[in-house]
């Protein structure tokens, strides 16, 4: 496996902040490991899930904050990008 360094985005003082909406199996097994390989340019900062236990435990794994509220996620000043990872027929958010 290559271990070459990654540059930060041009003009950016550091990595962009990523928020995750929906922290189910796909987020845990696919997206978070992929994002970890891009940590020089993308940093997971906020995990939001309607299931508070899932939000808290997944956030703890990546050192991010957590919530069950879409407003908290979208209003988080540390979040630049939101990845929508909830099911297509979804539970209502708070």
For ligand NAD, the closer CB: 15 or 48: 48
Q: Considering beta carbons, is residue 4 or 92 the nearer one to ligand NAD?
A: 92
Among 18, 44, 47, 49, binds ligand NAD (CB under 6 A): 49
The verdict on 56 binding ligand NAD (CB under 6 A) reads no
Strands 81-84 and 42-48: unpaired
Q: Is 37 exposed, middle or buried (0-12, 13-18, 19+ CB in 10 A)?
A: exposed
Max CA pair span of the chain: 42
Residues contributing to the site for ligand NAD (CB under 6 A): 21-27, 48-51, 54, 85-88, 90-91, 93
């Amino acid at each position: 496996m290559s271990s070459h360094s990654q540059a930060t985005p041009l003009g950016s003082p550091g990595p962009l902040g990523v928020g995750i909406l929906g922290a189910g199996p796909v987020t845990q097994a696919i997206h978070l490991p992929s994002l970890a390989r891009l940590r020089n340019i993308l940093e997971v900062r906020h995990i939001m899930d309607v299931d508070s236990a899932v939000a808290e435990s997944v956030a703890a794994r990546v050192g991010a904050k957590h919530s069950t509220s879409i407003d908290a996620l979208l209003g988080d000043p540390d979040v630049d990008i939101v990845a929508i990872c909830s099911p297509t027929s979804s539970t209502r958010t708070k």
